[in-house]
Structure 1
C-alpha cells in the first residue's frame, strides 16, 4: 500500500483572488481536501512567501525580482495566507517556499520523508507554475504522482489542457477529483475484502 499526501499549492489569498470566478476549480480543491481528511490522507499546504527585505530574491530571477520591486508577498501579509475556503486544520503543515516548485527552499521533503509519504496528489494554482515545477521535481525524486485536473487552474486554459493531456501523463496519473475518489473507494473495498 502506498502512503499518499495531498498537496494544496499556492491556494493563498493573493493568488486565489485572481481565480475566484472559477468556482468549479475552487469546489474541486475543497472536495479534495475534505476527502483526504475523511480518508486519513495527510493534507499539506504550500504557499509562496518571502522574508521582510526579500533576502531570498535574486535580481536574476525575472518573476520574483518583480515581486520585490512591487512589494508585498512577505510571510506575514494577507496575500500569503492560505485562502479561507481551504483553511488548514491544527496539525496540517503549511510549507513556505521561495521559488516556483513546492520543494524549492522549503521543508516539504523533510516532512514527506518523516511521514514516509511516497505518493503525492497535486492540486493548485497555477498549472504551468507550481503544479508543473513540483511534478517534475517530485518525479525526479521518485514519488508516485497524481494530478487532480479539475483542482488545478492556469491563467491560460490552453496551456492547462496541453499540460494535463500531453505533458503530465508522462510522469503522473491525471484524474478528476471524482475519479480519484472512486480510485480511493476501490482501494478501500479491496483492502476490506
Structure 2
C-alpha cells in the first residue's frame, strides 16, 4: 500500500490568528492545537523516509480564473483580492514550507480534486492511501476524505494536524463525520506504525 501525505491549506492567511481568513477563529484554533508543529513532525518523517507528499493550497490567479467554486464562502475572495498566488497570505506556512521539487497543487475551491492535476499526480505516485491533514477539518479535510473514499483511496486523517474555526466544529467532524470515510488517528500512532 502506497501512502501519500496531503498537507492542505496550511497557509499564512489561514493558520495565523491575524491572517486574513484565520482572524475569524481558524488561526487561533490552529495555533492552540499546535497543528503546524504536528504537521512539521509528520513532514519531517516523510522526508526522512523519502515518502510521497503533496502540498495543497488555495491560490488564485490575478483575475480569479482559477476560482471554480460557486459557494458563498468564496464570494468575498475576489471582492477583497484575497489569496492571490504570489501574496504573502497565500504562501504555505514557513514551518512546513515546500522544498524545491516538492509537489504543490493550487486550487480554486475547497476540494483539491476539482480543477487541478491532483488525480494525475496521485496516479503517477501509485497512491492507494491518502494521509490527510489540513485546516479546516470540516471543510478541506472532510471534503477531501469524502471524494478520496468515493474514488477508491483508503483514507487516514491525522486528527492533531487539523483544526476548524471552533473546537466544536473540529470535534464534530472527527467524531461524527470523518470516521465514515476512513481512519482517524493521532500522528504519533500513525508514525509509530510507519516506522
TM-score, scaled relative to structure 2: 0.89
Mapped contact 2:68–2:108 kept (Cα < 8 A):
no
Mapped contact 1:59–1:65 kept (Cα < 8 A):
no
2-structure distance, mates of 1:45, 1:94: 5
Mapped contact 2:68–2:109 kept (Cα < 8 A):
no
User: How far off its partner does 1:55 sit?
Assistant: 2.4
2-structure distance, mates of 1:93, 1:59: 23
User: How far off its partner does 1:90 sit?
Assistant: 2.0
2-structure distance, mates of 1:150, 1:179: 11
**SS of 2:63 mapped into structure 1:** coil
2-structure distance, mates of 1:181, 1:151: 13
Unaligned runs of 5+ residues in structure 1 are: 186-193
Q: Is residue 2:156 matched to residue 1:142? A: no
Corresponding residue to 1:35 among 25, 45, 48: 45
Cα distance change on mapping 1:58 and 1:106 into 2, 3 Å: closer
Unaligned runs of 5+ residues in structure 2 are: 17-21
User: How far off its partner does 1:71 sit?
Assistant: 1.1
Structure possessing the higher radius of gyration over alpha carbons = 1
2-structure distance, mates of 1:69, 1:56: 15
User: How far off its partner does 1:21 sit?
Assistant: 2.9
Match of 1:99 in 2: 109
Q: Deviations over 1:94-129 (max 9, x none)?
A: 100111011121111110001111110001100011
Match of 1:15 in 2: 14
**SS of 1:22 mapped into structure 2:** helix
Question: How many residue pairs align between the two structures?
Answer: 184
**SS of 1:73 mapped into structure 2:** coil
Match of 2:4 in 1: 5
Match of 2:170 in 1: 160
Where in structure 2 are the equivalents of 1:164-179 lying within 5 Å?
164-179=174-189
